[in-house]
Amino acid sequence: MSVSAASPRRLKAQPVGVLLPLALVVLAILVAFTLVPGLIAPHNPIALAMSDRLKPPSLLHPFGTDEGGRDVFSRVVFGARYSLGVAIAIVFVSALFGVLYGALSGMAGGRLDNLMMRIVDLFFGFPALVLALAIAASMGRGLGSVALSLSLIWWPGYARLVRGEVLRLRERPHVEAARALGVSRFVILLRHIIPFVVQEVNVRITTDIGYALVAVTALSFLGLGANSPTPEWGLLIRDSRPYFGSAWWYLVFPGAMIMMTATASSIIGDALASRRPG
Partner 1 sequence: MVGFLLRRLVWGLLVLLSVAVITFILSRVVPADPAAFLAGQNASEATVQRIRVEHGLDRPLPAQFVSYMAGLARGDLGESIRTRRSVSADLAQYLPATLELLFVSFVFYLAISFFLAALAARRPGGAVDGVIRLLTMVGTGIPVFWLGMTLQFVFFYKLHWLPLDARFPIRESAPPVVTGFLLVDSLLAGSLTAFFGSLQHLALPAATIVINLLAVGTRLTRAALIREQDRLYVRTARGKGLSPRRILFKHMLRNALSPILTATTMQFGYMISWVILVEVIFDWPGIGLYAYQSFQVFDYSPVIALALVSTAGFVIINLAMDLIYPIIDPRVQSVGA
Partner 2 sequence: MIVSVRDLTIGFRGDDRDLVAVDRISFDVEEGETFVIIGESGSGKSLTGMSIAGLQPRIAFVSGSILFKNREALNQPDAELRRIRGAEIGLIYQDPLGSLNPVWPVGNQIAETLTAHGLARPAAAMERAIEMLDRVHIPDPARVAAAYPHEISGGMRQRAMIAMALAASPSLLIADEPTTALDVTIKAQILELLAEVKREMSLTVILITHDMGVVAEIADRILVMYAGRIAEIGSADEIMLHPSHPYTAALMTSAMISETPAKQELNAIVGGIPGLDALPSGCRFHPRCPRAKADCVTAEPRRREFGAVEVACFHPIVAEAVAPARTGRGAS
258 binding partner (options partner 1, partner 2, none; Cβ < 5 to 8 Å by kind): partner 1
Looking at the DSSP bridge assignments, the partners of residue 71 are: 65
244 binding partner (options partner 2, partner 1, none; Cβ < 5 to 8 Å by kind): partner 1
Q: By C-alpha distance, which of 170, 165, 149 is closest to 201?
A: 165
CA angle 226, 229, 232 (to 5 degrees): 45
Q: Smallest gap, in angstroms, from Cβ of residue 5 to partner 2?
A: 8
Dihedral sign from CA coordinates of 22, 28, 30, 32: negative
Under rule CB under 8 A, residue 36 binds partner 1:
no
Name residues whose C-beta falls within 8 Å of residue 181's C-beta, 6 or more positions apart in sequence: none
128 binding partner (options partner 1, partner 2, none; Cβ < 5 to 8 Å by kind): partner 1
For 17-65, the three-class secondary structure string (H helix, E strand, C coil) is: HHHHHHHHHHHHHHHHHHHCHHHHCCCCCCCCCHHHCCCCCCCCCCCCE
Under rule CB under 8 A, residue 187 binds partner 1:
no
Under rule CB under 8 A, residue 22 binds partner 1:
no
Binding residue (CB under 8 A) for partner 1 from 1, 6, 11, 39: 11
Q: Smallest gap, in angstroms, from Cβ of residue 91 to partner 1?
A: 15
Residue closer to partner 2 (CB basis): 10 or 118: 10
Q: What does the alpha-carbon distance between residue 267 and residue 262 come to, in Å, rounded to a whole number?
A: 9
Pick out residues in 157-186 that bind partner 1 (CB under 8 A). Answer: none
3 binding partner (options partner 2, partner 1, none; Cβ < 5 to 8 Å by kind): partner 2
Q: What does the alpha-carbon distance between residue 60 and residue 48 come to, in Å, rounded to a whole number?
A: 16
Residues lying near partner 1 in the complex (CB under 8 A) are found at: 11-12, 15, 19, 121-122, 124-131, 133-135, 137-139, 210-211, 214, 217-218, 221-223, 234, 237, 240-241, 244-246, 248, 251-252, 255, 258-263, 265-267, 270
